[in-house]
Structure 1
Amino acid sequence: MSERSPLSWLVLLVGLGLLWPLVDPALNRALFLTLNGLAARLPDLVWSDLTVLGDTLVAMVLLLPLMRRRPDLVLAALLASLPATLLSHGLKNALAMARPYAVLADQVHVVGPYLKAGSFPSGHTTTIFVLACTLALGLRNRSAAAWLLALAALVGLSRVAVGAHWPLDVAGGILCGWLSGLIGLYLVERFPGMLRPTLASALRLLLVACALVLLVRYDTGYPLARPFEQALALLALVFHLLPGWRLPARGAA
């Protein structure tokens, strides 16, 4: 964990730094209206495509190309999904915070479903930061880590852009996802014997099944993103079957 500690702590500090001031309802609301209004200048398709990357099934499909060469990271991400789910849904049920549309109604530019309850934390942000954590820290490649974190941040922003979450929810999702990712990585490193051939085969079948479901019939709630979802499923299947492609080298700049 020593090689990973700077980035591990940096993301946690950023998440806390965002969360702390946004506890103020006035600031949280004002920032939401500003970001949601600015985001509305871009086509809804952009935010739809970005936001579905935080859907649980889509995220699992994104792991499929890693299954041949880094099954340990796939297992870490799936293990991380357990505390992530407990944290996310536990807080949603315990706090029962209203979503932006329930509070601001017509002031909100909504893309996709009109959601009203279970606001904190953002589940999509939690999911994408589980992936960002396990891959950015697991691959140990600075360029890959930068791109992964930038993409995860955009997915988090998309939750505000589509009118589904407050900025506070996104900050909470960053923390929940990143902490869960650290737990997943720790478990895989602490118990390397977990990843036996039978488990690896089962994980491969699970992810292939997820890709086929996404390709054929799956509703994320964002119909504009459907072609993008199908393209992701096809690409994931193709890269999984290709024997020659390579991951970035560890420690590369």
Structure 2
Amino acid sequence: MRCHLTKMSTNYKSLLDQARASKAVVPQSSIQILLLVAVVLASTAMIGNVLGGYHFGFMEINSFSIYIPSFLLENMTVFGDGVFLLALVLLFSCRNIRFHWTVLFTTLLGAIVVNLLKDYFAMPRPPAVLDPETFNLLGRAYKARSFPSGHSLTAFLLASVCFCYVQNAYAKATFILLAVLVALSRVLIGVHWPMDVLVGGALGVVLGVGGVMITAKWKFGLCAYVHLFTLSLFVIACIIVFVDGNDYKLALPLLYVVSAAAIIRTMKSYVFVR
């Protein structure tokens, strides 16, 4: 028993030392590309608002949902769920302490910003404005706190963080594409206006870039106490998936599999070490 505890401690100390010793390099080219994405999203929102008002483009986009299987839409939209994304971080980047710190910081920052804006603007969602017979709605009919889209902000935020951490161009493109699909799904399932997802996406990119740049210099999250707290939050997020489930029932198998796999991998990486 004592030998195993010593091995756990040595393994964890090695991960911490590696995180502290590694130099965080934020590629300027990645930052520039991401900021360009934010500008495109924000500009599209502004132009759409000028030409068609706050509700521009909703009916046109939402009408395409009848051609897309509900299973696909529900599994697409959960990739903007913060709890599920934390489970994904554990599954695919279980031992990267520096990445954990960046994800924690940007996630908290994003949660504060999106909730403040939602409460301040208090914009009604499509189910609160439109006749249910005139558009396609999938899942729960949310009616309040529409602007900005939290799912879109979260998806673009984490996509931006991953964009800065990976080197492969195809992986970078995939992260942005997934964020775009998440944002699009919120309109397709009828719970957000295009304005909500465009502004949410732009904010997510800006906050993600800011979080990456700040945590690259601020190493507060690379100490044992803060990282253990971070790791605990990620594991709790996995457990919440099993306890609370999700509004999109067709996506539950995916959520359960990812969360279970993330918990198992965490146990193997930090507790049952060889």
* Interval of TM-score (by shorter of Structure 1 and Structure 2): 0.7 to 0.9
User: Paired residue for 1:26?
Assistant: 52
**Counterpart Cα distance in 1 of 2:89 and 2:178:** 15
Which of 215, 228, 232 is residue 254 of structure 2 equivalent to? 228
SS in 1 for 2:140: coil
Please say if residues 31 and 209 of structure 2, whose CA atoms lie closer than 8 Å, have aligned partners that are also in contact.
Answer: no
User: Paired residue for 2:7?
Assistant: none
Please say if residues 154 and 204 of structure 2, whose CA atoms lie closer than 8 Å, have aligned partners that are also in contact.
Answer: yes
Please say if residues 84 and 126 of structure 1, whose CA atoms lie closer than 8 Å, have aligned partners that are also in contact.
Answer: yes
User: Paired residue for 1:138?
Assistant: 165
Which of 57, 62, 65 is residue 39 of structure 1 equivalent to? 65
Give unmatched runs, 5+ long, in structure 2: 1-25, 270-274
User: Which amino acid in structure 1 is aligned with residue 32 of structure 2?
Assistant: P
User: Paired residue for 1:101?
Assistant: 127
User: Paired residue for 2:86?
Assistant: 60
Shift in CA distance, 104/154, structure 1 to aligned 2, threshold 3 Å: same
SS in 2 for 1:118: coil
SS in 2 for 1:36: helix
Does residue 116 (structure 1) correspond to residue 143 (structure 2)? The answer is yes
The percentage of counterpart residues that share the same residue type is 27
Which has the higher mean CA deviation after the structures are superposed, 93-102 or 22-31? 22-31
User: Paired residue for 1:191?
Assistant: 218
**Counterpart Cα distance in 1 of 2:119 and 2:233:** 29
How many residue pairs match? The answer is 242
RMSD: 2.0
Which has the higher mean CA deviation after the structures are superposed, 19-28 or 74-83? 19-28
Which has the higher mean CA deviation after the structures are superposed, 220-229 or 61-70? 61-70
Which has the higher mean CA deviation after the structures are superposed, 200-209 or 149-158? 200-209
User: Which amino acid in structure 1 is aligned with residue 58 of structure 2?
Assistant: F
Please say if residues 56 and 195 of structure 2, whose CA atoms lie closer than 8 Å, have aligned partners that are also in contact.
Answer: no
Please say if residues 94 and 265 of structure 2, whose CA atoms lie closer than 8 Å, have aligned partners that are also in contact.
Answer: no
Which of 165, 173, 178 is residue 205 of structure 2 equivalent to? 178
Give unmatched runs, 5+ long, in structure 1: 244-253
In the TM superposition, what whole-angstrom CA distance separates every residue of 1:109-140 from its partner, at most 9, and x where no partner exists? 11111111111100011111111011111223
User: Which amino acid in structure 1 is aligned with residue 114 of structure 2?
Assistant: S
Question: What's the offset of the Cα at 1:28?
Answer: 5.2
User: Which amino acid in structure 2 is aligned with residue 162 of structure 1?
Assistant: I
User: Paired residue for 1:246?
Assistant: none
Q: Highest Rg: 1 or 2?
A: 2
**Counterpart Cα distance in 1 of 2:266 and 2:177:** 24
Which has the higher mean CA deviation after the structures are superposed, 118-127 or 98-107? 98-107
Does residue 204 (structure 1) correspond to residue 231 (structure 2)? The answer is yes
* Runs of 4+ residues over 6 Å off in structure 1: none
Which of 56, 62, 76 is residue 102 of structure 2 equivalent to? 76
SS in 1 for 2:59: helix
Question: What's the offset of the Cα at 1:177?
Answer: 1.0
Question: What's the offset of the Cα at 1:38?
Answer: 0.6
Please say if residues 101 and 115 of structure 1, whose CA atoms lie closer than 8 Å, have aligned partners that are also in contact.
Answer: yes
Please say if residues 183 and 197 of structure 2, whose CA atoms lie closer than 8 Å, have aligned partners that are also in contact.
Answer: yes
User: Which amino acid in structure 2 is aligned with residue 236 of structure 1?
Assistant: A
Which of 85, 95, 99 is residue 111 of structure 2 equivalent to? 85
User: Which amino acid in structure 2 is aligned with residue 102 of structure 1?
Assistant: A
TM-score, length of structure 1 as denominator length: 0.87
Question: What's the offset of the Cα at 1:29?
Answer: 3.4
Which has the higher mean CA deviation after the structures are superposed, 174-183 or 160-169? 174-183
User: Paired residue for 1:248?
Assistant: none
Shift in CA distance, 221/189, structure 1 to aligned 2, threshold 3 Å: same
Question: What's the offset of the Cα at 1:66?
Answer: 4.5
User: Paired residue for 1:164?
Assistant: 191
**Counterpart Cα distance in 1 of 2:75 and 2:51:** 29
Question: What's the offset of the Cα at 1:98?
Answer: 1.4
In the TM superposition, what whole-angstrom CA distance separates every residue of 1:78-128 from its partner, at most 9, and x where no partner exists? 111222122211221111211112121221211111111111100011111
Question: What's the offset of the Cα at 1:159?
Answer: 0.3
